[in-house]
Amino acid sequence: MDQRQKSELTKQSIINESFKLFYENGFKTTSVDTIMKATNLTKGAFYHHFKNKKELGLAVIGLKLQKRVYESMVAPLYGPEPPIEILSSIFYKRLKAFNLYEKQHGCPANNFINEIGDYETVYQTALKRIVEEWKSALVYVLDRGKTEGQIKQDICSKSVAVYLISSFEGVRGLRKLYDNDLILDEYISGLSLYIENLKV
């Protein structure tokens, strides 16, 4: 393994461990020292790859959070299945796929939004990029549903997209308060009715 590969692996190790620590303990309370201790690396290794914690935070948002949301909630919206089927399955499947650890800690992107969404413009811009990409994909599948005669013409696709994202992120946050999945089951029941009402 050459030096460049080693350097990239070190950088990925810092990003991966930081993501985990931010997810479990919060961004603001996790120090560079804590990250370095968890990775068994020196501060010199950290500052070789990142100017400061802000730059690291942006890397975690861009390389971990955005990828995670894209793969699970955005890319499937461009699938070939009928739009109503896509909408019905994507949210249900995602909620059912979460393990206990993820249920207890909520959505990493939403945790970032709640903690630092109003903290600094650079964070706002990076986090907004994730939401806007998700929103655009939802608008696409909703508009396709209208074109294909599955979804009512008079609904506002942007409004529905914002509602679906907000409700999904909200229930992820609420689940952190409970020691069972009843709140998720109730949400799925309500979401099912909402999506049913979108149909022609």
* Mean pLDDT of all residues belonging to the chain: 95
The beta-strand segments (E) located in 93-172 are none
Q: Which two tokens stand for residue 146?
A: 């209208």
CATH number at residue 171: 1.10.357.10
The number of folded domains in the chain is 2
If asked whether residues 35 and 79 sit together in one domain, one would say: no
55 domain residue, yes or no = no
**Are residues 80 and 43 part of one domain?**
no
Q: How confident is the model at residue 118 (pLDDT cuts 50, 70, 90)?
A: confident
pLDDT tens for each residue of 18-56? 999 999 999 999 999 999 999 998 888 899 999 999 999
User: 52 in the Ramachandran plot: left (φ > 0), alpha (ψ -120 to 50) or beta?
Assistant: beta
The tally of CA atoms less than 13 A away on the side-chain side of residue 88 is 16
